[in-house]
Chains A and B, each alone.
Chain A
């Protein structure tokens, strides 16, 4: 391999700044990758606090960000997601990239005052996103 190395060395050195940053770009994780974000709201902001007694604060959270190519192991995505990504990149960009959506939720307990003046404690399923995935 000495001659290969030799020939490499003879190549003109391009300005390091340009190539190195370009070169490393393909490795750095995308900054706005698909992940869970908080959104804390209080029912008084929505003026619903006159009948939603509890909780005072509610954080439904949401998923936002790009789905990188290697979605399999990071997001538990099915192979279909990888295929959709390849179609978007190689064949037809009108096919949308995979979306960043909630994969798992947790319930929420709510205490409300009902129209007739009765009081209800209810537990609702799937009210807070707890995990994101690319689909």
Chain B
């Protein structure tokens, strides 16, 4: 008897995948993966074999993403139930720096001007932007914990095809962002969502950002904390992080389902009393069902 169609599909795909090599007739002509053809992870798993070795990312960026992974998932890779964010995808892009960066003036906390080009072609059409930040790797040796106010003036130069015909129209935008430095604070995030939203929505594959940031100590700080210059050393040009909601069927949409995936019964109140020790789970269910409402 014929195996069920789904099984046949998986078997065929697995057989295809084991033979097909990039460039063969079965391999997508443009080499780009069409989300409908292969689940993204399977695509990553399969195209790794025949492909040239991958560019190794910046080690500090990798360290940041490993830290993020530990915050969001267990050692076995299960997404943690306490995550209350709406994104199931986080992408970190390291820039092609357009020009050698002049060193920043550290005594006043001026971060060096940056002229950065990011290639976003890994962002698929089904991934919707939730938030975007520029990640500066800093090594602040501020002696006491002090709030630092950063004002950034970033200009977006569109480099998509649309601007090929007319000169790129810079879109000046001043971003006000505030973050707290503590001892040995390694990273500083600057929210650039308003800049990136229109570009990701229009599937721009390249983003050209330039501008600089000035960080000064917050005036409300205790006088003692204001002694001495703000000694900031920028270790590397900033990375761009996109927090996305992948709307494809293969992606996990945890916030839509109850933590233990039970079919929502009509009368939530009629549900049997939660088992002892499941108080947290029941509370969690309460919170998530309130959120859903």
Listed in ascending order, the chain A residues whose CB lies under 8 Å from chain B are 46, 48, 50-55, 57-59, 94-96, 104, 106-128
The verdict on B57 contacting chain A, using a C-beta distance below 8 Å, is yes
Interface 1/0 per residue, B84-98 and A, CB below 8 Å = 000011111110000
B97-116 at interface with A (beta carbon < 8 Å)? none
| Contact of A118 (CB < 8 Å), options: B79, B93, B253 | B93
Most chain B C-beta atoms within 10 Å of own C-beta, residue among A104, A109, A110: A109
Q: How many A-B residue pairs have CB under 8 A?
A: 129
Asked whether A116 lies within 8 Å of B56 as measured between CB atoms, the reply is no
B56: chain A residues at CB < 8 Å are: 113, 117
Asked whether A53 lies within 8 Å of B90 as measured between CB atoms, the reply is no
Which 3 residue pairs spanning A and B have beta carbons closest together?
A117-B55, A55-B77, A109-B73
Asked whether A121 lies within 8 Å of B122 as measured between CB atoms, the reply is no
14 pairs across A/B with beta carbons < 8 Å?
Answer: A46-B45, A51-B54, A53-B69, A58-B77, A107-B254, A109-B69, A109-B79, A114-B91, A116-B55, A117-B94, A118-B93, A121-B89, A121-B91, A128-B78
Question: Apart from A111-B65, A115-B51, what 5 extra A-B contacts exist at CB < 8 Å?
Answer: A51-B54, A117-B57, A121-B90, A122-B41, A124-B41
The verdict on B53 contacting chain A, using a C-beta distance below 8 Å, is yes
| Contact of B73 (CB < 8 Å), options: A55, A94, A95 | A55
The verdict on B44 contacting chain A, using a C-beta distance below 8 Å, is yes
Asked whether A107 lies within 8 Å of B69 as measured between CB atoms, the reply is no
Asked whether B90 lies within 8 Å of A54 as measured between CB atoms, the reply is no
- By beta carbon, the residue of chain B nearest A56 is B75
Asked whether B252 lies within 8 Å of A121 as measured between CB atoms, the reply is no
Listed in ascending order, the chain B residues whose CB lies under 8 Å from chain A are 1, 39-41, 44-45, 47-48, 51, 53-57, 61-62, 65-66, 68-69, 72-73, 75-79, 88-94, 119, 121-122, 246, 249-254, 261
**How far, in angstroms, from A96 to B57 measured CA to CA in the complex?**
51
Asked whether A57 lies within 8 Å of B76 as measured between CB atoms, the reply is yes
Closest Cβ of chain B to A38, distance in Å, is: 11
B61: chain A residues at CB < 8 Å are: 119
| Contact of B66 (CB < 8 Å), options: A54, A109, A112, A125 | A54
Asked whether B251 lies within 8 Å of A118 as measured between CB atoms, the reply is no
Asked whether B66 lies within 8 Å of A53 as measured between CB atoms, the reply is yes
Asked whether B66 lies within 8 Å of A59 as measured between CB atoms, the reply is no
Most chain B C-beta atoms within 10 Å of own C-beta, residue among A111, A114, A123: A123
B90: chain A residues at CB < 8 Å are: 120-121
Asked whether A119 lies within 8 Å of B89 as measured between CB atoms, the reply is no
Closest Cβ of chain B to A102, distance in Å, is: 12
Asked whether B69 lies within 8 Å of A116 as measured between CB atoms, the reply is no
**How far, in angstroms, from A113 to B122 measured CA to CA in the complex?**
11
Asked whether A50 lies within 8 Å of B88 as measured between CB atoms, the reply is no
- By beta carbon, the residue of chain B nearest A122 is B89
Closest Cβ of chain A to B128, distance in Å, is: 14
| Contact of A122 (CB < 8 Å), options: B1, B93, B246 | B246
Closest Cβ of chain B to A11, distance in Å, is: 46
A117: chain B residues at CB < 8 Å are: 54-57, 94
**How far, in angstroms, from A127 to B72 measured CA to CA in the complex?**
17
- By beta carbon, the residue of chain B nearest A40 is B76
